Amino acid sequence: MNLDGKVAVVTGSGRGIGRAYALALAEAGCAVVINDIDPDVAEQTVHELNDAGHTAVAEVVAVGSAEAADKLVQRAVESFEGIDIMCTNAGLLRDKVLWKMTDEDFDAVIETHMRGTFTCARAAAVRMREQGRGGRIVVVSSWAGQRGNFGQTNYAGAKAGIAAFARTWAMELARAEITVNAIVPNALTRMIASIPGMAEMVESAEKGQPLPDMVRKQMGMGMPEDVAPLLVFLASDAAKGITGQCIGLGGDKLSLWSHPQEIAAAYRDGGWTADAIAEVWSSSVGAQPQTYGIPFLGGGG
């Protein structure tokens, strides 16, 4: 994939999957705006890219507010005269079960993931429409957003909303030739080490130990660099006709996620009563209830 001349902003790209996204885009020819809340981490990634012959600058700001989003887009415009790709990757976790989750836990995750995706995508869309050359907006959903996950009310809610953003914005931006897709990544990062059962696997991967086939194939989980090619593909001309999709990548597994849709229906002349619903539920629309939770984390049903 050749992305020479393209300009990308990747939020939360100082470390983890965001850093892998930025490196992959730069290696494909993109100029990249690196974003992180830690100036040392952001500058380190910029120096690494520049030392390798790539083009990158840093914008240190916490995503969420409209002001932060405008700064990121303006940094791309001032440094590289435009923006072609916006990847809204920045995120954090504040995991607790429902009855223990505080307002602050909820708001922090919604602010960064959901509001940050909204404000950054909006700022990019405004500029891309002004430029008149199309563009790519790639948002980041998750397994939790698609399936739900124990202890992740805030995160799952935000990520489900982000998937809905992609479907909505794909329609709204089609005339401007701006595609919008959601990546559903599955990678071992420091951020997911707090999830029960994942810390040991993350530690093992950080030591350079190879992941077994069961992890890479059945769980579809790998390292951050395993996810990054999907962003490069979606940013390229090869994906100009792909929009409104939720696409998963992790380890050795590439997947397309379904959209919510009706899978069963029943009809009753004159409408339904509660008793009538109870009478037919198990033999009609409720005959095959949908599963939920993330299988390889042992949750749901």
Q: For residue 200, what pLDDT is reported?
A: 72
Using one digit for the tens of pLDDT, what is the confidence trace for 139-188?
999 999 999 999 999 999 999 999 999 999 999 999 999 999 999 999 88
- Same domain, residue pair 191 and 294: no
Using one digit for the tens of pLDDT, what is the confidence trace for 232-273?
999 999 999 999 999 999 999 999 999 999 999 999 999 999
- Same domain, residue pair 39 and 156: yes
Q: CA angle 219-225-231, nearest 5°?
A: 95
Share of the chain above pLDDT 90, in %: 85
Is 140 domain-assigned? yes
- Same domain, residue pair 90 and 222: yes
Confidence band of 208 (pLDDT split at 50, 70, 90): confident
Q: CA angle 64-70-73, nearest 5°?
A: 110
Q: Would the pLDDT of 298 be above 80?
A: no
Q: Would the pLDDT of 226 be above 90?
A: yes
Q: Would the pLDDT of 60 be above 90?
A: yes
- Same domain, residue pair 209 and 297: no
pTM over 0.75: yes
- Same domain, residue pair 175 and 297: no
- Same domain, residue pair 257 and 292: no
Catalytic entry in 6, 155, 204, 283: 155
Average pLDDT over residues 97-106: 98
Establish whether 240 is a catalytic residue: no
Starting at the edge strand found earlier in the chain, the sheet holding 7-10 runs 55-60, 31-36, 7-10, 85-88, 135-140, 178-185, 246-250, 253-257
Catalytic entry in 71, 159, 240, 284: 159
- Same domain, residue pair 182 and 283: no
- Same domain, residue pair 208 and 184: yes
CA dist 184 and 299 (Å) reads 18
Establish whether 142 is a catalytic residue: yes
CA dist 201 and 193 (Å) reads 8
Catalytic entry in 6, 100, 142, 204: 142
CA dist 219 and 166 (Å) reads 25
Position with higher pLDDT, 296 vs 112: 112
- Parent domain of 86: 7-261
- Same domain, residue pair 281 and 245: no
- Same domain, residue pair 174 and 99: yes
Q: How many domains does the chain have?
A: 2
Establish whether 159 is a catalytic residue: yes
Position with higher pLDDT, 294 vs 23: 23
- Same domain, residue pair 99 and 197: yes
- Same domain, residue pair 222 and 294: no
Domain harbouring 159, CATH code:
3.40.50.720
Q: Would the pLDDT of 217 be above 90?
A: no
